[in-house]
Structure 1
Amino acid sequence: MALYEHVMIARQDLSNAQAEALNEHFGAVLADNGGTVVDTEYWGVKTMAYKINKNRKGHYSYLRTDAPSDAVQEMERLMRLHDDVMRVLTIKVDAHDEGPSVQMQKRDEREGRRERR
């Protein structure tokens, strides 16, 4: 099986719980087709550079998967058909990086800073 990384942008009017439920739903789709979800990260609501479907913000989610190509194609097809998903990006990688993604590392660095006076 091949290793993939997926980034998904969901509509901004969803709650955090609904956005994370989308990760679980699409992870179940992969599992039904013989794949596994290695790691999921919810990056939160972020402002986009331009409007997509009249939305300026979106819930960003990140999935690391180990799945056959048929399972990934089916998951992407269902993501594109889902009303709450605005964009999907899938990349095939040679190996998954250890630890959190770059987006989560940035968040950890910001929290570690001391307050300015």
Structure 2
Amino acid sequence: MALYEHVFIARQDLSNAQAEGLIEHLGQILKDNGGSVIGTEYWGLKTLAYKINKGRKGHYGFLRSDAPAPAVAEMERLARIHDDVMRVLTIRVDEHEEGPTAVVQAKNARDERPRRDRDDRPRRDRDN
């Protein structure tokens, strides 16, 4: 079996729980057709570079899988006809990277930055 990475964009009016359920649904399709899901990530609601189906935002999901080509083809077919999925991208990879993806690492780094209080901002001298 081959190793794949799948990224999909779901409609913006879904809740976070519905988007994560969609990730599980697509993973289950792979499992039902003889594949296995190595890992999943929910990247969150992000602004799109251009409008897709009259929407400016979308829920991003990511799957790592080890599956035969027919299982991937079936998952892509069902994702493309699913009403909530706007785009699907599947890439075959030689090996999966360990740990979280760059998207999750960047989000974690942003969350770990120390927050400055409003009083820590430099003040402008308004008398001059």
TM norm structure 2: 0.90
What does residue 70 of structure 1 align with? 70
What does residue 19 of structure 2 align with? 19
Distance 2:113 2:26 in 1: 35
What does residue 89 of structure 1 align with? 89
Unaligned residue ranges in structure 2 (runs of 5+): 121-128
Which structure: greater strand fraction?
A: 1
5 Å-filtered alignment, 1:35-114, equals 35-114=35-114
What does residue 3 of structure 1 align with? 3
Q: Does 1:28 pair with 2:28?
A: yes
Distance 2:22 2:113 in 1: 32
Alpha-carbon deviation of 1:112? 1.5
Q: What are the Cα deviations for residues 19-74 of structure 1, in whole angstroms up to 9, with x where unaligned?
A: 11111111111111000110000000000010000000000000000000000000
Total equivalences in the alignment = 117
Distance 2:93 2:105 in 1: 20
RMSD: 0.6
With 107-116 and 35-44 compared, the bigger mean Cα shift is at 107-116
Structure 2 residue matching 1:115: 3-state secondary structure: coil
Structure 1 residue matching 2:5: 3-state secondary structure: strand
Alpha-carbon deviation of 1:111? 1.2
What does residue 125 of structure 2 align with? none
TM norm structure 1: 0.98
Distance 1:109 1:7 in 2: 22
Alpha-carbon deviation of 1:115? 1.3
Structure 2 residue matching 1:3: 3-state secondary structure: strand
